[in-house]
């Protein structure tokens, strides 16, 4: 399930972040920053996330001077029950809509769906959007932050932000070159506070299949970038790729969860997570580096733990998935 595309290009991106992300090492690259509380003028954290989704799409349209009618398709996903942030956001736009879910790998799923539609000639343009919100996600998957529940050092910090990207069939400097659809992988881990360990095996499987399918060495890419494994999952991935697949990506590999925050100075434990984590890093920082030709070939591999708290309470293990998308400068 690896595909090559010939006619899919990145037109522009838009990113909006909360206060922790704004104060992180990549803060200067984001388009809009909220530096107060996490309500953003709304009455609940869930409504604040809807605002993030809506505002990032409107900002993207504004940057390109486009009307809603210029967009053929809108694809979006998030972490709320029934992807509520995306569903409720979509009612603000008169654009055909697909709501999707691959947990923290949702951004890559959207890129793959959009690229397939565009490359087949079915549509000309698509906006792919994702959001996550720290306090909304904590309430959803673990405990409300007001409880003050202690966390282990392996836990990650859900990123607050909204990120949107416009893909079209109009040539630009950056293209979507190829993609690999991930498989669901489950190694029997049940700890919801150790997502890096859960997702590392899925990332390894997808990276290995992508390189094998396209007959590429890891050195083909200037950078291979996973989504949100954090400092512990990052180490597990490197070791697992070497031991199981005889693949060494240590020279050109990093993880978005380790990049979006200053892990030594900010209280984010093992690093960032959430659908917006990888999308913010890729659509802001990596996009800028590729525009400046500092990076020319990048493989992004957003990672997701596709679990339900209900099933975890019923003693089920946590499955994971990772999708890969190759970006190249023309």
Q: Confirm or reject CATH 3.10.20.600 for domain 2-168, answering yes or no.
A: no
pLDDT digits (tens, 9 = 90+) for 268-309: 999 999 999 999 999 999 999 999 999 999 999 999 999 888
Q: What's the pLDDT at 147?
A: 58
Residue 63 has pLDDT above 90, yes or no: yes
Q: Any residues with CB less than 8 A from the CB of 132 and at least 6 apart, and which?
A: 49, 78, 79, 104, 158, 159, 160, 161, 273, 274, 275, 276, 277
Q: What's the pLDDT at 142?
A: 65
Residue 48 has pLDDT above 80, yes or no: yes
pLDDT digits (tens, 9 = 90+) for 103-154: 999 999 999 999 999 999 999 999 999 999 998 887 767 666 665 677 788 9
| Domain 174-329: assigned CATH number | 3.40.47.40
Q: What's the pLDDT at 180?
A: 98
Strand partners, 168: 9, 125
pLDDT digits (tens, 9 = 90+) for 195-238: 999 999 999 999 999 999 999 999 999 999 999 999 999 999 99
- How confident is the model over 86-109, as a mean pLDDT? 98
| Mean pLDDT across the chain | 95
Q: What's the pLDDT at 144?
A: 63
pLDDT digits (tens, 9 = 90+) for 1-43: 999 999 999 999 999 999 999 999 999 999 999 988 899 999 9
Percent pLDDT > 70 in the chain is: 97
Q: What's the pLDDT at 148?
A: 65
Task: Please report which confidence band the pLDDT of residue 102 belongs to, taking 50, 70 and 90 as the band edges.
Answer: very high
Instruction: Give the residue range(s) of CATH 3.40.47.40 domains in the chain.
Output: 2-168, 174-329
Q: What's the pLDDT at 308?
A: 85
Q: What's the pLDDT at 165?
A: 98
pLDDT digits (tens, 9 = 90+) for 234-263: 999 999 999 999 999 999 999 999 999 999
């Amino acid at each position: 399930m690896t595909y090559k595309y010939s006619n899919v290009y990145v037109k522009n991106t838009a990113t909006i972040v909360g206060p922790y992300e704004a104060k992180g090492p990549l803060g200067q690259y984001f388009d809009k920053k909220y530096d107060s509380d996490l309500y953003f003028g709304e009455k609940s954290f869930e409504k604040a996330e809807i605002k993030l989704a809506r505002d990032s799409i409107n900002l993207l349209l504004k940057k390109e001077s486009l009307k809603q009618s210029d967009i053929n398709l809108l694809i979006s996903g998030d972490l709320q029950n029934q992807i509520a942030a995306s569903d409720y956001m979509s009612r603000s736009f008169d654009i055909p809509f697909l709501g999707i879910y691959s947990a923290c790998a949702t951004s890559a799923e959207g890129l793959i769906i959009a690229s397939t539609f565009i490359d087949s000639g079915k549509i000309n343009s698509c906006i792919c959007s994702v959001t996550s919100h720290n306090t909304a996600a904590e309430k959803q998957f673990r405990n409300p932050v007001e409880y003050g529940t202690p966390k282990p050092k392996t836990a990650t910090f859900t990123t607050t932000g909204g990120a949107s990207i416009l893909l079209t069939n109009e040539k630009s400097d950056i293209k979507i070159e190829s993609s690999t659809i991930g498989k669901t992988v489950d190694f029997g881990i049940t700890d919801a506070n150790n997502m890096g360990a859960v997702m590392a095996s899925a990332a390894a499987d997808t990276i290995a299949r992508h390189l094998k399918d396209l007959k590429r060495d890891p050195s083909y890419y200037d950078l291979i970038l996973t989504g949100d494994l954090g400092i512990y999952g990052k180490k597990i991935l490197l070791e697992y790729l070497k031991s199981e697949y005889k693949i060494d990506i240590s020279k050109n590999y990093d993880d978005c969860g380790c990049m979006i925050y200053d892990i030594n100075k900010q209280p984010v434990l093992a690093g960032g997570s959430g659908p917006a984590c990888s999308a913010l890093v890729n659509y802001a920082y990596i996009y800028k580096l590729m525009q400046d030709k500092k990076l020319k070939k990048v493989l992004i591999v957003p990672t997701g733990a596709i679990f339900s708290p209900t099933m975890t309470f019923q003693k089920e293990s946590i499955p994971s998935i990772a999708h890969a998308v190759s970006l190249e400068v023309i």
